[in-house]
Structure 1
Amino acid sequence: MKLRTQGLLALAVTAALAGNAHAEIAIDVINGSEVSLEGLMQADGSWFHNDVADLNAASPAGNDGKDSEFDMRRAEVILKGKGGRFDWTLGYDGKANKYLDANIKWKLGTNYLMAGQYKQPNSLEELTSTRHNDFISKAMVTNLFGVARRVGVAYGDDQPNFGYQVSYFGRELTRNLNQGQGFGGRVYFAPMAETGNILHFGVSALDYDTDADTARPRVRPDADQATVRLIDTGNILNADRQRTYGVEGLWVGGPIKVQAEYMRSTVSRTEATTLPDWTGDSWYVYGVWNLTGETWGYKAGLPTTTLPDDPMAGMWQIGLRYDSTNLNDGNVRGGEERNLTLGVNWYWRSNFKFMVNYVKVDSSKYVSALRAELDDNPNILEARAQFYW
């Protein structure tokens, strides 16, 4: 499977480079459905200035324990069909060896019914296309409490200024990954929804079974290549369900975008224990400025990134993000962490993106062996080269 995927990637890249730069490769029209091929490849590098813990300690995943790491982050190929009453998607990530979106959507005017694997409706950052994320690593709250792709059935409505989705879901399509049946929903309202002039608000909720009656909220320090989590609850045993509530906001004014999210999550225990429930929360706020003057669009409750006004000069962005997480609750001392991330992005032509992030970490966690809180405040430099079509 891996060799076939790599061959398909090579063929897709060759086809994309052979023609003019554009977002997708048109293949055919079948029964009124326009079939196209999309792809995404990302190569990451990280340089760790450790404080206490070795953030990229050697691991079976391939980290060699040095202060720097370089690897392919994603190698995705996505086949899509659009047109008529039905849209469908089939995607696969050759790097992670897992299925991406694999679903069919029945369009009923602005309403729709969707079945298959899709991102669950609870995180503005997670729902936004990965190729246009504003920072290399998603914020801690997204990686902690965002439920990404699961197999399920959803019903929703996407109007220009209002929309919602309700979902019933189970496990991930790829075996041995995330599991747990549950329900989710998201509602958004955008009193201003014009390109360059956007104001968006949203709320979401998820409630699902924990896997094997155990939950373990933990998160990397805004560095996907780190093997160590500075904050970690450890195993929360006799866990029954996890319930997460979220609020989100977005404002775009010309070349400036401000985005924020807050989530609060509770792990409830089974009746077989007298241990109390656990609750933690996390949030972020960030701003991005398009130095070259471009702005953002808006579609289906999400911001859309435009192409550079001058393809050869490209689109330059700078961004600043602050995110915070608290995993302490009662006897569970998961720790607290606050990160400041400074980023620079360069979109060149229609198919390339280059990113550099500097992350300053401030964390504190109770260590039972010391009987005290231990501060760990490393710095991380990250870079990404991205090709997409």
Structure 2
Amino acid sequence: MKIRHTLLATAVLASLAGTANAEITIDMIGGSEVSFEGLVQADANWYDSDVKNLNADAADGADADFQMRRAELILKGKGPGMWSWVLGYDARSDKFLDANVQYKFNAETSVTVGQYKQPNSLEELSSTKNNDFISKAMTTNLQGMSRRFGAKVETDHGNWGGTASYFGNELTNNESPSLGTGDGFGLRGFFAPIKGDGQLLHFGLSYIDLEARDSSDNPTARLRVRPDADLASQRLIDSGTFSDADRLKTTGFEAAYVSGPVKIQAEHMTTKVSRDLNPDFTADSWYVYGVYNLTGETWGYKGGVFTTGLPDDPSKGMWQLAVRYDTADLNDGAVTGGKESNWTVGVNWYARSNFKLSANYVMVESEKRANLAAPLIKDNPNIFEMRAQLFW
């Protein structure tokens, strides 16, 4: 059934790709120019499993998963005056996306109230439709924080800026994020000492501090991550549950360099879990990757985040080659969460203005002990991934 649904979705994406418009303007309502955007993604993962069976349904005997990844519908409004708003919903995950109101004091500074992405990950803050790889790096999935409800003030002066945010829980709290669900605050600053046409050097620093709580407000924390495959059922590294957790504090450093059609990007994050009855736990991870636009396009830059433009020649589209190395360490003292390091090679094709095809090959190396006295188990699967995407 899942295969049939995915093939149907892929066919719909292909049929719409040549005719979809960018952003659809609906009407002027109450002085606000209302527009409609969307993003649909269909994914396929094929596993060459080693120790653990990565297939989501281990009972079916298959070595592959096919699934709709996202079905995002977004309404946006500009005006009246310096006001703007957005309301997004993902029908696939049954949750709200950005849902907020913003007021701009001037061209540089604004305040936002509602749900939005928190300021602690360059890759997470980038647009989902322009991800350089099908799965974000382990660093981002493990320690990056996505959307929470709160209030933020941010300023963007072109080559420098920053964000300060205070937040609570997600509007639709139907998942279990690694970084807990309690109240907290976040800070991020960025600086681009080189910022010119097709030339950019970026540095960023972020900090997130929040209560370690589960959806029932119990003091709980757990850090685990999939092996760079969003559909995989297993996490090869896992800290286990800390039932005495107090707070989670994540510090992130980011750097990136763009020269014409080449982009190099890296991030390092450290998360400390303070505990009441046991020693504190610290997790580390980092990634570095490079992307080369074979068709010559470069990247834009706004608010300390890279933007991906349209193909220079719509008839040929934009072709990208990419390679990434990412690693995560969840071992600390008596906690044997494991270590994992992955290589990913990928290709992206942005066809015209609205369609994208991606293929990734992931080579995983992981090791984990059940406890300090247990034998070391190595699990080194390979994964092939494909994605079809329509956006407007």
Q: TM-score, normalised by structure 1?
A: 0.92
State the AA in 1 paired with 2:65.
E
Tell me whether 1:233 sits opposite 2:220 in the alignment. no
Say if 2:294 and 2:319, in contact at 8 Å, map to a contact too.
yes
Q: State yes or no: 1:89 paired with 2:86.
A: yes
Residue pair 2:24, 2:35 contacting (<8 A) in 1 also: yes
Q: CA deviation at 1:159?
A: 1.4
Gaps of 5+ in 1: 1-9
Shift of 1:306: 1.0
- In structure 2, what is the equivalent of residue 218 of structure 1? 224
* Identical-residue share of aligned pairs (%): 58
Q: Secondary structure at the match of 1:96?
A: coil
8 Å CA contact retained: 1:93, 1:100: yes
Amino acid at match of 1:277: D
Contact 1:339 1:359 in 2 (8 A): yes
Correspondence for 2:201: 199
Residues 71 and 176 of structure 1, relative CA distance in 2, 3 Å threshold: closer
**Aligned AA (1:118):** Y
Tell me the alpha carbon deviations over residues 184-207 of structure 1, each in whole angstroms, 9 at most, x when there is no partner. Answer: 010001122234111110000000
RMSD after superposition: 1.9
Equivalent residue for 1:318, pick from 305, 321, 339 = 321
Determine the structure 1 residue equivalent to 2:163: 165
Q: The residue matched to 1:311 in structure 2 has which SS?
A: coil
Determine the C-alpha separation between the residues in 1 that align with 2:325 and 2:25.
Answer: 40
**Cα deviation digits, residues 283-318 of structure 1 (max 9, x gap):** 000000000111111111111101111111110000
Q: TM-score of the superposition, structure 2-length normalised? A: 0.91
Q: Which amino acid is 2:351 matched to?
A: W
Counterpart of 1:279 in structure 2 is 282
1:201 partner letter: F
Count of paired positions: 371
Q: Identify if the C-alpha distance between structure 1 residues 114 and 254 changes in structure 2 by more than 3 Å, giving closer, same or farther.
A: same
Q: Which runs of 5+ in 2 are unaligned?
A: 1-8
The change in CA–CA distance for 1:381 and 1:19 in structure 2 (over 3 A counts) is closer
- Decide whether the 8 Å contact of 1:320 with 1:342 is kept in 2: yes
Give the structure 1 partner of residue 4 of structure 2.
none
Q: 1:244 aligned to 250, 261, 265, which one?
A: 250
Greater shift in the superposed pair: 368-377 or 161-170: 368-377
More displaced stretch, 363-372 vs 248-257: 363-372
Identify the residue that residue 102 of structure 2 maps to in structure 1: 105
Q: Is the 8 A contact 2:334 2:372 kept in 1?
A: no
| Structure 2 contact 18–352 (Cα < 8 Å) conserved | no
Structure 2 residue matching 1:126: 3-state secondary structure: helix
Which is further off, 154-163 or 123-132?
154-163
- Which deviates the most, 370-379 or 197-206? 370-379
Given that residues 56 and 65 in structure 2 are in contact (C-alpha distance below 8 angstroms), is that contact kept between their aligned partners in structure 1?
no
Structure-2 separation of matches of 1:342 and 1:108: 43
Query: Which residue pairs with 1:115 in the alignment?
Result: 113
Contact 1:57 1:66 in 2 (8 A): no
Q: Is 2:334–2:371's contact at 8 Å kept on the other side of the alignment? A: no
Cα offset, 1:365, TM superposition: 0.4
Partner SS for 2:240: coil
Distance in 2, Cα, partners of 1:129 & 1:247: 19
Tell me, yes or no, if the aligned pair for 1:195 and 1:298 is still in contact at 8 Å: no
Give the one of 112, 126, 129 matched to 2:127.
Answer: 129
Q: Deviations over 1:16-39 (max 9, x none)?
A: 959964321011123442210000
Amino acid at match of 2:251: Y
Question: Is contact 1:256–1:287 with CA below 8 Å preserved after alignment?
Answer: yes
Shift of 1:58: 2.1
Q: Which residue of 1 aligns with 2:5?
A: none
Change (3 A) 1:19 1:223: closer
Local SS of the residue matching 1:214: coil
Tell me the amino acid that sits aligned with residue 115 of structure 1: V
